[in-house]
A and B are shown apart, each in its own frame.
Chain A
Amino acid sequence: MALPDFLNNYWILLPEWMRLVVWTGIKIGMILLPVIICVAYLTYFERKAIGYFHSRKGPNRVGPWGLGQPWADVFKMLTKEIVIPAKSNNYLFIIAPVLAFAPAVAAWAVIPFSPTMTLANINAGLLYLLAMTSLGVYGVLIAGWASNSKYALLGAMRSAAQIVAYEIAMGFALVGVLMVSNSLNIGDIIQAQSGGISQWFMWPLFGLFVVYFISGVAETNRAPFDVAEGESEIVAGFHVEYGGFGFAVFFLAEYANMILISALTAIMFMGGWMSPFSETGPIGQYLLDIPFLGALLGDGFMWLALKTSFFLLLYLWFRATFPRYRYDQIMRLGWKVLIPVTIVWIFGEGIAIALGWKPWL
């Protein structure tokens, strides 16, 4: 990174640790800001997409094609009065949205956006991700409890039970990925899938792939598993007492989590930033040699973005069409269908590895 001379003079004067802090801070900002903007436009995309699913138009009043809508929403949320219920636990009530939001964005640290772009290339990246995605439930639980409302409490209880069930299925699905890739490092997991679309883990691990995405949908409390905030049952569930800024933070967390789960599904099972064409593949060897187009179709961030968008669209599609599960039915699906599927799959996978038969290599 080449800095102008006068800046460089100050930069080298700083002690080593401070340079690290500043540089990391800048990198965090470079991830956080786009994530938040993505969330803003995901809400717009959601409303537009679901609008067209429903044969209506969606937001079209603020700015051209309604593109200003997210900013109008943000402005409205931030300028609303913050109401804290009289008999709530004030401290927990305020800290809950933060607890929901922080893990949702912290998890982004280990996501590789392109072959070179990643904030923290740590060896236990997968473990870190599992830890961060499970932490999010504390925000929900605490919000539900601190609100001192029966609806919120019901929402929190449902959410707790649901997350426990689906966390297991999700963890098992990732164990499958781990066994195949032989690494906890996210970058290595992606590298293990190199060689074009046929080498992606979604083929040998198809069952786990499906289970992982379903669990991800449940984990983020999205339809058809949105019992924790089930609009027509418990009004808004755990965040029923939140308005304005508090609600906005929960909202941000939910959507950041959605993007995260979509990105993770893309990374774990569809090769992340890998292009579906490889240099040695039947089509890739010609396609990637074409000037300009070849560079565009090669490995890079746009593939991750494309795959993530695909899963986000699935999220919206589910929400637009499916009825909501009942709370006990979700539990049944989680414990009696998804977890057994993952266990059986991992078992089969283990046998395959032990016998040295590796279809994914």
Chain B
Amino acid sequence: MPEIKNYTLNFGPQHPAAHGVLRLVLEMDGEVIERADPHIGLLHRGTEKLAESKPYNQSIGYMDRLDYVSMMCNEHGYVLAIEKLLGIEAPERAQYIRVMFDEITRILNHLMWIGAHGLDVGAMAMFLYAFREREDLMDAYEAVSGARLHATYYRPGGVYRDLPDSMPKYEVTRWREKSEVKRLNTVREGSLLDFLQDFTERFPKCVDEYETLLTDNRIWKQRTVDIGIVSPERAMQMGFTGPMLRGSGVEWDLRRKQPYEVYDQLDFKIPVGTNGDSYDRYLVRVEEMRQSNHIISQCIQWLKDNPGPVMLEDYKIAPPPRMNMKADMESLIHHFKLFTEGFCLPEGEVYTAIEHPKGEFGCLLISDGANKPYRLKIRAPGFAHLSGLNEMVKGHMLSDVVAVIGTQDIVFGEIDR
């Protein structure tokens, strides 16, 4: 009889559940995983190195492309690092706008996660339900920045511009009738804030809908309960953050522990899990969506009541109003200098971290006093999670690898950078 050996299975990078370009080399004993070896680097674009050759303000757009499902949060981490080194702070209204869009981004990310996780486990409907709501939030992105994905909306010293008074609207096409367009546009008649308010009112019902499909579903529970258990100690040792850590029962949220912007003035709760399995992480993320929704509604209220500047009036950092440039030579020079040379940061080293939807997103910025960073190091939460993959899937079956990849909420833009 021939000797029975383990075999290796090449999982990805061309695989429907690889979440982009994950390549796993699985050592398998039948259907059981003995060892999972993640190979990274297939989406490496050299973001950190690229940032070293550009003025600070020109790298913001690269941050969107790191974790491409939670764009503005990446920008936030980077912009905050610059602001910290400069010693400036954005106006309060800008801070509220940032917090609001951070939470919108969190919902965007978690919707993407619930859809992709559902699809990995085979629940097809989740993906489309989640994308239905994502579409509305994408419209909010579009309304403030003109772009649905890569917004480049946060700038050092505030945000690019104030919230718009009108929303982009649907138009009649061959495939979209007048009555349907009218229905779609009813919530888009007012300002962006009106639109978002309407969204926050309907979103909890949508989350209920997702939960009816999954939370008590026997198959879903069989596929997630006790899969990929991480103990709280081990989660901390491996550098897990965000829902991956909170799912294990550690109440660690930078929005609470190291409040930045206006998080200390807002009311929200931090959900934590108990068992540290995939199902707990699922529950944590679903609750986070509800909490984010709550934060957004608080921000909307504040923003409606408190108009004001959204950008510092320091023309060395923020561009002057376009109207001034037409007549005022100094403004024109400021504008020219800002968009060619940028601005210089004082010599020094700074680390900022924000509570990104996936965990702690950190930026280490080292400046030698020039107009571009000497070194920019990005701490991507997904990187630490992926390195824990082997431990999480060992002894599970092939199908569980997919479920674990789903629960880790991996996006390769940030891992490979």
Contacts and interface: CB of A to CB of B under 8 A. Distances in A.
Given A230-B122, A232-B119, A326-B397, A60 B175 contact: yes
A326 B7 CA distance: 21
Interface string A232-252: 111100000000000000000
Contact of B219 (A54, A320, A325, A328): A325
A223 B222 CA distance: 15
B399 A322 contact: no
A320 B397 CA distance: 24
Interface in A123-137: none
B123 A322 contact: yes
Contact of A325 (B15, B119, B222): B222
B220 interface: yes
Contacts of A325: 219, 222-223
A223 B129 contact: no
B4 to A, nearest CB: 14
B16 interface: yes
Interface in B1-44: 7, 9, 15-17, 31
A324 interface: yes
A326 B399 contact: yes
Interface residues of A, number: 31
A337 B217 CA distance: 18
A52 to B, nearest CB: 11
B400 interface: yes
B107 to A, nearest CB: 18
A323 B9 contact: no
B402 interface: yes
B119 to A, nearest CB: 6
Interface of A: 50, 53-56, 60, 150-151, 154, 158, 223-224, 226-227, 230-235, 319-329
Contacts of A231: 16, 122
A233 B124 contact: no
A231 to B, nearest CB: 6
Nearest to B121: A323
B132 interface: yes
Contact of A327 (B16, B119, B217, B399): B399
Given A55-B129, A232-B119, A233-B17, A326 B124 contact: no
A61 to B, nearest CB: 9
Contact of A55 (B9, B132, B222): B132
A334 to B, nearest CB: 14
Nearest to A322: B219
Nearest to B405: A232
Of the listed residues B121, B122, B397, the one surrounded by the most CB atoms of chain A closer than 10 A to its CB is: B122
B10 to A, nearest CB: 8
A307 B132 CA distance: 33
A323 B123 contact: yes
A232 B222 contact: no
20 contacts: A53-B125, A54-B124, A54-B129, A55-B132, A154-B31, A231-B16, A232-B17, A232-B402, A233-B17, A321-B123, A323-B121, A323-B122, A323-B217, A324-B121, A324-B123, A324-B219, A325-B223, A327-B398, A327-B399, A329-B219
B398 A235 contact: no
A55 B219 contact: no
B120 interface: yes
A337 to B, nearest CB: 12
A234 B401 CA distance: 11
Contacts of B222: 325-326, 329
